[in-house]
Amino acid sequence: MNKTLRIGTRGSALAMAQTGWVAEQLEQAGYRTELVQVTTPGDRSMAPIAEIGVGVFTSALREALADDEVDVAVHSYKDLPTAPDPRLSLAAVPVREDPRDALVARDGLTLGELPPGSLVGTGSPRRASQLRALGLGLEVRDIRGNVDTRMRKVTDGELDAVVLARAGLARVGRLAVITETLDPLQMLPAPAQGALAVECRVADVDTEHLLQSVLDDEASRVAVAAERAMLAALEAGCNAPVGALAEVVEDLDADGRVAQRLFVRGVVATDDGELLRASVTGETTAAEQLGRDLAAQLLDARAALLSGPGQ
Ligand SMILES: NCc1[nH]cc(CCC(=O)O)c1CC(=O)O
């Protein structure tokens, strides 16, 4: 193929960095690329995400792709709504960055070293509920804005710490500001955190094939499929914040042989701020079913809790 691939991107530093990375992979494989900047309502508004809704960062890019203004759209996978867009194909899930959340705290402090009453900023209900559940007496403050805006609240002394996706910091070359990478036992990331979704038009099979062959990473795709299936099943049953992490691990199969298995952990907060946690392990080929099984366990646990004392 000798045409130039028009790759749509948001204008934020994070979006430019990740789209630039995708373009570079394609260039190295011998394709010509051109970046096309698309402004989304999410970039224009400073209102809380909860008010402006899911898909604020991704829908304008998807429209530009569907309207043939660009040939490829690069999204942070976790920002995509779970409902598929029938006009588009998820051509590639490139190799995932470290999916964990990261703490950026004053004076190099870790979570455990922050004194009770410390102010910790996050705009994410998932992060807020998991922070509160640690029982450390941390005061969670709602914040928004790009990576730099959020980190400045710590350097300016307005907050003691903020929690961000490690992957976002990695992509903009700011890993050095992290004072602790949070263990998923304490803080499960958002489903698909650290992964990119690379889309093209469903009818554009040439582009679909080249994106898949140059960019797709099987292990990342499988893990994200499990996490997103869990999220989709939970969204149908409740609207509580959800964390999930699927990892390909070495495990013994029924015959005692070492095999690759998928280990999926999930967390959902109740209205009272209690956390329900569960995990499943199974075949990597059954990723989506594993995600749905995990969601069913969490919904059962929630139903048992809601049916009150004595149950
Ligand atoms: N919701 C904003 C957003 N979307 C993707 C990332 C980080 C990169 C990623 O998880 O892929 C971030 C920032 C953050 O959560 O700190």
Q: What value of ipTM does the predicted structure carry?
A: 0.96
Pair (230, 298) in one structural domain: yes
- The predicted pLDDT at position 53 comes to 53
What is the arithmetic mean of pLDDT over 72-85? Answer: 95
CB-CB contact of 75 with 197 (8 Å): yes
Least confident of 28-32, 60-64, 105-109, 302-306: 302-306
φ, ψ of residue 271 to 5 degrees: the values are: -60, -30
Q: Which residue reads 């730099």 in tokens? A: 148
Residues 266 and 211 reside in one and the same domain: no
Do the domain assignments include residue 270? yes
Residue minimizing CA distance to atom 14 of ligand 1? 165
Residues spanned by the domain of 259:
224-306
Sign of CA dihedral 215, 218, 223, 227: positive
Ligand 1 atom 8, closest CA: 168
> How far does residue 117's CA lie from ligand 1's centre (Å)?
26
- The confidence band for 47, taking pLDDT boundaries of 50, 70 and 90, is low
- State which amino acid sits at residue 274: E
Look up 79 and say whether it is catalytic: yes
- The torsion angles phi and psi of 301, rounded to 5 degrees, stand at -65, -40
132: CATH: 3.40.190.10
Residue ranges lining ligand 1, Cβ < 6 Å: 76, 78-79, 164-165, 167-168, 193-194
> Is residue 5 exposed (0-12), middle (13-18) or buried (19+ Cβ within 10 Å)?
buried
Q: What average pLDDT does this structure show over 276-282?
A: 97
- Given 79, 160, 204, 293, the catalytic residue: 79
Mean predicted lDDT score pLDDT of the chain: 92
Instruction: Give the number of other Cβ atoms within 10 Å of residue 145's Cβ.
Output: 13
- Nearest Cα residue to atom 6 of ligand 1: 168
Residue 34 three-state SS:
strand
pTM (2 decimals)?
A: 0.92
pLDDT at residue 49 in the model: 47
* Residue % of the chain over a pLDDT of 70: 94
Both 41 and 165 in one domain: the answer is no
Asked, for residue 311, whether it belongs to a domain, the answer is no
